[in-house]
Amino acid sequence: MGNLLKEKIKNKEKVLGTFFELGSMSVIECLGQTGLDFVIIDNEHGPFETESTMNYVRACDNVGLTPLVRVREVSRPAILKPLDIGAKGLIVPCIETVEQAKKVVEYGKFSPIGKRGFCPSRKDYWGYSHPQGQPIDIGMKHENEETLLILQCETVGCLENIETIVSMDGIDGIFIGPFDLSISMGIPGQFDNPEFLKAIDKILSSCKKYNKISSVFTGRFDDIDKYYKQGFDIVTYSLDSNILVDGFKNLVSTVK
C-alpha cells in the first residue's frame, strides 16, 4: 500500500487538500470526485474516535484520496492507532520542544528509527498485503518510508527550534498552523505582519535545507497560488464545513 501523496510531491505536482470535519463517509465520497489530493481527518478539533476515523480512512481509499489524520496529542495511543488503521500520514499539533518531536518519531516510526509497536493491522490488511512474505525488517522499512510524520509548527517554541526539529531522522515535514502560530507570537491573525512573514520564510527555508515536506494552511483562496509560488509542497485550504457554507451562501446571494 504505497503513499500516492508522497509520489505526487516527489513529482512536483501542486498538492491540495482540506480538513475533514463534517463526519460523513458520504462527504468523503463527494470530495473524492473533486480532484483534491488528500483530506486531513481532524482528531484534534473534530469529534472523531478511532473506529469512526477508520471508516473515513476506508472511504478515502475507495475514492483515491490520501487519508491524513491530525492527532489530538503527542502520546503513544494517539499516534499508533491512526497509523494502524491505515492513515498515510499524521499531522501532529502543539509541538513545543525537540523532546516532543523525538517522542513523535519514537511512537510513529518502526525500528531502527523509532520504537513503533509492531502488529498486523488494517494498514497492511492484517499482514496479507505488500510486503507479505518478506522478513519483518523489510515490512518495517516499507512502513517507515510510506508513512509521513508531519509536525505542526504553531508555537514559538517550535519556531525557535525549527531547524533542529526538521533535521531529525523520522520527521518527514512541517505543517504551518498560521492561526495558532500568530497567536503564540502575540500577533493573532496578523498574517501580513513582517514578523509573521519572517517566521514563514524561516520554516520554509529549514524544510528546503533538509529536503523535508513543507505544508501550510490557509483560509484565503487567493493565498493558494501564492504559497505554491513561494515553494510550498502542500497547501491545505479551509475546512469542508466552511467550503460547504460559503458555497451555498454565494449561491443564495447570487440568486436573491
Q: Name the grid cell of 50.
A: 478511532
Q: Name the grid cell of 115.
A: 520504537
Q: What is the pLDDT of residues 203-224, one digit of tens each?
A: 999 999 999 999 999 999 999 9
What pLDDT score does 1 carry? Answer: 61
Q: Name the grid cell of 144.
A: 517507515
User: Of 55, 89, 71, 45, which Cα lies nearest the Cα of 242?
Assistant: 45
Q: What is the pLDDT of residues 101-150, one digit of tens each?
A: 999 999 999 999 999 999 999 998 888 886 777 889 998 999 999 999 99
Residue 173: Cβ-neighbour burial (10 angstroms; 0-12, 13-18, 19+): buried
CA distance 159 to 157: 5
Q: Name the grid cell of 156.
A: 514559538
User: Of 103, 111, 202, 180, which Cα lies nearest the Cα of 149?
Assistant: 103
User: Of 1, 116, 131, which Cα lies nearest the Cα of 67?
Assistant: 1
| Contact indicator for 65, 88 with CB cutoff of 8 Å | no
Would you write out the chain's pLDDT as a tens digit for each of its 256 residues? 689 999 999 999 999 999 999 999 999 999 999 999 999 999 999 999 999 999 999 999 999 999 999 999 999 999 999 999 999 999 999 999 999 999 999 999 999 999 999 999 999 888 888 677 788 999 899 999 999 999 999 999 999 999 999 999 999 999 999 999 999 999 999 999 999 999 999 999 999 999 999 999 999 999 999 999 999 999 999 999 999 999 999 999 999 9
| Contact indicator for 65, 37 with CB cutoff of 8 Å | yes
Mean pLDDT, the chain, as a whole number? 96
Angle CA 57–103–196, to nearest 5: 80
67's enclosing H/E stretch is strand 66-70
| Contact indicator for 214, 208 with CB cutoff of 8 Å | yes
